[in-house]
Chain A
Amino acid sequence: MRKAQGSWEKRILKSLNSMCTELSIPLARKEDDATDSQSHSLGQPPCDAFLRLLDGRPVGEQKELLNKWNEMGTDEPDLSLFRPVYAPKDFLEVLINLRNPNYENGDSLSFRTHLGLIQVPLKVKDIPELKEFFVELGLTTGQLGIDDSTQVPPELFENEHVRIGQKVLTEQDSAAAQQYVRQGSPTALRAELWALILNISSHPEDILYYEQLKTNVIQHDLLVDSLIYKDVKLTASNDDYYFVFEDYLYQVLLCFSRDTSVLSHFAYNSASPPKSYIRGKLGLEEYAVFYPPNGVIPFHGFSMYVAPLCFLYHEPSKLYQIFREMYVRFFFRLHSISSHPSGIVSLCLLFETLLQTYLPQLFYHLREIGAQPLRISFKWMVRAFSGYLATDQLLLLWDRILGYNSLEILAVLAAAVFAFRAVNLMEVTSLAAAEAVLADLSTLKVMPLLQIFLFATVT
């Protein structure tokens, strides 16, 4: 796994470097070349060597950016030459080719042979184990997303659930909050509950930290900023739900790239932050810098991790903190190669196994027509379904991610979607037609789908 992750990282960095060469934009510059000494004052956040070495922005441009901080969406640079460093489908190709050279499973094909794209034998849960793990999603437990629909009188579940939620908030009990949101969070309480679960509180030093990151953005520009602009323009700006928050996305993501505290998550991430060397000093560790400062290179769709959070938090520093915590707890697992049960490789395998085991006819049919199901569902899982589901449904899904501290629900939902549209899928005869059947998920109600798939399907 580590080897695969390492070579994937090399590829990404190579791609990034070649884009820089094409566009003649350096990632970093030597200290001698720095003409503006913008960044030497004390009291800045632990700013690593990279930012000190980088040319600062001209002062005029800084003033302009500060004035335009709240509306960067209307003034972006020429992005036509930039392209995303990679898209989910590139990443999928890497995962498909993962092989364990030590693994021996015998030559003969049997009904146990995995016919999906992932060929790494990781342990994934089956439905009985999932039923146990997700016991609170069962048919006899009240859920928001099901038992709060207009036909159901609120006295049956909703009122009491809201009351309990308010109590949890009053007690400020983080563990209780995590347990509570397994049954879904009321919209009015969600922002506070998530903050409680993620241990985010807005102390003055947190706000100050965010302001300092903002200052870094104003004072230095990074190549990766253009990638962020491009990504937002390609995804969130065109989204019916999130276009309104375009400017917040820039603010959060530009600060995020410069936040070196994010580097600490690499301690439990199989990935490593990309290193770059000052020109002419390749291999010399004292001239190595992490690029970007937070070690995370955004890919196509990255901004969609932030977008749904804008519905909950309108105060920039709080929004920032929540996103950062969500990233270092969950989202990073969706684009790095590891054997963790919530890692993307396990999720893919879980999805394929669920489909092959419980919907074999559908699975074989799709395989026959060249429409391996993972090719369609991969992008949903990598984005944690952001941009594919209606926002209220997405938030109910992310409630459960927080509640169960696991991303496995993404794989289960993906399988449930296929199960739901199985009848139509059985009739298609090409990958394109299968994509079309699954193109629009915006009308889906996630909780009934999950409940039926886990608890009401005959196995």
Chain B
Amino acid sequence: MAGKVKWVTDIEKSVLINNFEKRGWVQVTENEDWNFYWMSVQTIRNVFSVETGYRLSDDQIVNHFPNHYELTRKDLMVKNIKRYRKELEKEGSPLAEKDESGKYLYLDFVPVTYMLPADYNLFVEEFRKSPSSTWIMKPCGKAQGKGIFLINKLSQIKKWSRDSKTSSFMTQSTKEAYVISLYINNPLLIGGRKFDLRLYVLVSTYRPLRCYMYKLGFCRFCTVKYTPSTSELDNMFVHLTNVAIQKHGEDYNHIHGGKWTVNNLRLYLESTRGKEVTSKLFDEIHWIIVQSLKAVAPVMNNDKHCFECYGYDIIIDDKLKPWLIEVNASPSLTSSTANDRILKYNLINDTLNIAVPNGEIPDCKWNKSPPKEVLGNYEILYDEELAQGDGADRELRSRPGQSLGPKGSRLRDAGRTVLTTWK
């Protein structure tokens, strides 16, 4: 293992660079021999593209999967989850069980969503069923809350109608593709304000699925009191929790940045709602993350040179049900407060400890099973290999090839109640 790890990045963030330097790694350029490349999503596209791509050698590791967009593009994520649910239903899996009104009992964690303009007519049908509902329009390929708006009238999205005269230029460019989802207008409020959860999930391999949850996630609060009033539908400070948006608000505070730790949330919920419902909420959150990964696992290019650290955005409604809003491939590494900087620095540190064992020149053929001691603030969320080997709680042994299991490997949650029940 002679030689130091040679690193490249095209993201100039101190939390990254400080971590590389503290390991004594050597910075090189893209054209030289590198071992570790922390790249932006544009770059990963080039590396794996048919025209400009090149083969990575065994001692090269990158921080994205080639087709991560199957999970991180809003429309593809929904498509994959819908496909996954249908497959489970076809197989007769208990996970796909539905209730009397036809809603999935365990897999209903994404708000009703349609692609525009492709599903426009389907959407209209749904819209007319509850005409007083609010929907949220999001451009498929953008981030940081850009281009998002709320609607409560069909006329507001006439542009996306397939029959519309102006639609011709819309349908051509996929950049203008939007998703429209039922807006969660009853978010759980704390101090009267809406918030969402940002959780970091590291995936080292999709098949077998091995993923880790960062224990130090945080809540992002809006600076303005929440109101579902239609007169405030345009007020992004009420509805969108993205820091990129909130930091322009009058009341944005640079000391705490409108952020709470997940532990604070837990303490608050346990104190005001009780331990059982709080534990159930957090279990459900872990569940939906694992299910989303399982949904895309079959279509993911499980390139062994890759790992990925996702930023999951989750909203909790006032019935304490968590909803998966989206998954980010490139969660922001910008620090809005001092605490933020420390958190992101440690996040990268722990991520590197898992992805690049011992900080030495990697060999992508390794088994991707780091020892427990290096996990830092990560904990195992789901380890498919361990789950399959764990026969004790398998009342219904999976058919060969079917790698499903709701419990996975709950190495830490000894007292957790199983979300699904095997019949």
A residues near B (Cβ < 8 Å) are 70-71, 73-74, 154, 186-188, 190-191, 237-241, 243-248, 310-314, 391-392, 395
A246–B271 CA distance with the chains assembled, in angstroms: 19
Does residue B404 face the partner (Cβ distance < 8 Å to A)? no
Known A188-B271, A188-B275; judge A240-B339 contact (CB<8 A): yes
CB <8 Å contact, B272 and A191: yes
Contacts A187-B275, A248-B191, A392-B267 known; 15 new A-B pairs at CB < 8 A: A188-B271, A188-B278, A191-B271, A191-B272, A238-B253, A240-B256, A240-B339, A244-B190, A244-B191, A246-B191, A247-B225, A311-B272, A312-B271, A313-B272, A392-B263
Measured CB to CB, the closest approach of chain A to B1, in angstroms, equals 34
A74 touches B190 (CB 8 A): no
> Smallest distance from the beta carbon of B213 to chain A beta carbons, Å?
16
With a cutoff of 8 Å between Cβ atoms, the chain A residues found around residue B275 in the complex are 186-188
CB-CB under 8 A from A238, the residues of chain B are: 253, 255-256
Contacts of B268 in A (CB 8 A): 311
Q: How many residues on the B side are at the interface (Cβ–Cβ under 8 A)?
A: 27
Contact present for B271 and A190 (CB under 8 Å)? yes
- Contacts A/B (CB < 8 Å), 14 sampled: A70-B225, A74-B225, A74-B251, A238-B253, A240-B260, A241-B260, A241-B264, A244-B190, A245-B191, A311-B267, A312-B272, A314-B272, A391-B267, A392-B267
Min CB distance, A79 to chain B, in Å?
A: 14
A71 contacts B272, CB within 8 Å?
A: no
Taking the nearest CB of chain B, how far is it from the CB of A415, in angstroms?
27
Contact between A187 and B270, CB atoms less than 8 A apart: yes
Residues of chain B in range 179-224 having any CB-CB distance to chain A below 8 Å? 190-193, 221, 224
The answer on a CB contact under 8 Å between A244 and B193 is yes
Interface residues of B in 238-276 (CB under 8 A from A): 250-251, 253, 255-256, 258-260, 263-264, 267-268, 270-272, 274-275
Q: With CB as the reference atom, state the residue of chain B lying closest to A246.
A: B191
B191 contacts A239, CB within 8 Å?
no
> What residues of A have a CB within 8 angstroms of the CB of B253 in the complex?
237-238, 243
Determine whether the beta carbon of B225 is less than 8 Å from that of A71: yes
Docked complex Cα distance between A276 and B221 (Å): 43
Q: Which residues of A contact B190 (CB under 8 A)?
A: 244
Closest to A315 in B: B272
Roughly how many angstroms separate A70 CA and B259 CA in the complex, as a whole number? 20
Residue of A nearest to B266 (CB): A187
Q: In the assembled complex, which residues on chain A have CB atoms less than 8 Å from the CB atom of B192?
A: 70-71, 247
Q: Is the CB of B260 within 8 A of A187?
A: no
Smallest Cβ distance from A262 to chain B, in angstroms? 25
Chain B 263-298: CB-based contact to A (< 8 A → 1; otherwise 0): 110011011101100100000000000000000000
The chain B residue sitting closest to A186, CB to CB, is: B275
Complex Cα distance A187/B274, Å?
A: 8
Residues of chain A within 8 A (CB-CB) of B255 are 238, 240
Q: How far is the CA of A313 from the CA of B268 in the complex (A)?
A: 9
**A245→B193 CA distance, assembly (Å):** 9
- A313 and B274 alpha carbons, distance in the complex (Å): 12
Report chain B residues within 8 Å CB of A392.
263, 267
**How far apart are the CA atoms of A237 and B386 in the complex, in Å?**
46
Which chain B residues lie closer than 8 Å to A188 at the CB level?
270-271, 274-275, 278
Q: Report, nearest first, the 4 A-B pairs whose CB atoms are least far apart.
A: A244-B191, A188-B275, A187-B270, A71-B225
CB distance from B395 to the nearest CB of A (A): 25
A53-B397 Cα distance, complex, nearest whole Å: 80
A252 to B: closest C-beta gap in Å:
13
Q: How far is the CB of B301 from chain A (nearest CB, A)?
A: 37
Whether B224 contacts A74 by the Cβ 8 Å rule is yes
Contacts of A241 in B (CB 8 A): 260, 264
In Å, the complex CA distance between A326 and B392 comes to 51
Interchain nearest-CB distance for A102 vs B (Å)? 49
Q: How far is the CB of B141 from chain A (nearest CB, A)?
A: 33
CA distance A251 to B415 in the complex (A): 40
Decide if A187 touches B267 in the complex (CB within 8 Å): yes
| CA–CA, A188 and B280, complex, Å | 14
Nearest CB of chain A from residue B77's CB, rounded to whole Å: 30
Query: Are the CB atoms of A247 and B267 closer together than 8 Å?
Result: no
Give which listed residue, B221, B250, B278, B339, contacts A244 with CB less than 8 A.
B221
Query: Which B residue sits closest to A154, measured CB to CB?
Result: B415
Best-surrounded residue of B264, B267, B271 (most CB of chain A within 10 A): B271
> How far, in angstroms, from A52 to B401 measured CA to CA in the complex?
81
Interface residues of B in 383-423 (CB under 8 A from A): 415
CB nearest to A153 among chain B residues: B414
A244 touches B272 (CB 8 A): no
CA–CA, A209 to B235, complex, Å? 36
The interface residues of chain B lying within 8 Å CB-to-CB of A395 are 271
The interface residues of chain A lying within 8 Å CB-to-CB of B221 are: 244
Q: Tell me the minimal C-beta distance from A309 to chain B in angstroms.
A: 10
Question: Which of B256, B270, B271, B278 touches A243 (beta carbons < 8 Å)?
Answer: B256
Q: Which residues of B contact A190 (CB under 8 A)?
A: 271
Q: Considering the complex, give the chain B residue whose CB is closest to the CB of A188.
A: B275
Closest to B263 in A: A392
Chain A: minimal CB distance from B349 (Å): 18
A154 to B279, CA, bound (A): 16
Q: How far is the CA of A190 from the CA of B274 in the complex (A)?
A: 10
B259 to chain A: closest CB distance in Å? Answer: 8
Which residues of chain A are within 8 angstroms of B256 by Cβ–Cβ distance? Answer: 238-240, 243
Q: Which residue of A is nearest B279, CB measured?
A: A188
Take A70-B225, A238-B255, A239-B256 as given contacts and tell me if A391 and B191 are in contact as well, using a CB distance cutoff of 8 Å. no
A312 CA / B274 CA spacing, docked (Å):
11
Which chain B residues border A74 with CB–CB below 8 Å?
A: 224-225, 250-251
Which residue among B190, B192, B260, B415 has the maximum number of chain A CB atoms within 10 Å of its CB? B192
Contacts of B191 in A (CB 8 A): 244-248, 310
Q: State the CA gap A187–B265 with chains docked (Å).
A: 12
Smallest CB separation, B269 vs chain A (Å): 9
B355 → A minimal CB distance (Å): 26
Nearest opposing residue in chain B for A392, CB measure: B267
Shortest beta-carbon distance from B98 to chain A in Å = 32
Q: Closest Cβ of chain A: how far from B336's Cβ, in Å?
A: 13
* Closest chain A residue to B249, Cβ basis: A74
- List the B residue with the shortest CB-CB distance to A313: B272
**Alpha-carbon distance A164/B190, docked complex (angstroms):** 30
- A73 partner residues in chain B, CB cutoff 8 A: 251
User: Shortest Cβ distance from A321 into chain B, in angstroms?
Assistant: 16
CB distance from A193 to the nearest CB of B (A): 11
Cα of A311 to Cα of B192 in the assembled complex, Å: 13
A246 to chain B, nearest CB (A): 7
Residue of A nearest to B276 (CB): A188
Query: Shortest distance in angstroms between B308's beta carbon and chain A's nearest beta carbon?
Result: 28
Q: How far is the CB of A164 from chain B (nearest CB, A)?
A: 15
A191 to B268, CA, bound (A): 11
Chain A residues near B272: list those with CB within 8 A: 191, 311-314
Chain A residues contacting B260 (CB-CB under 8 Å) are: 240-241, 244
Q: In the bound complex, what is the Cα–Cα distance between A248 and B271 (angstroms)?
A: 17
Minimum CB–CB distance from A166 to chain B (whole Å) comes to 11
Expressed in whole angstroms, the minimum distance between the Cβ of A29 and any Cβ of chain B is 34
Pairwise interchain contact B264-A391, C-beta atoms closer than 8 A: yes
Of A191, A240, A246, most buried by chain B (CB within 10 Å of CB) is A240
- The listed residue (A154, A187, A239) touching B271 by CB distance below 8 A is A187
Q: How close is A303's CB to chain B, nearest CB, in angstroms?
A: 14
Bound complex: CA A391 to CA B263 (Å): 10
Q: Which residues of B contact A239 (CB under 8 A)?
A: 256
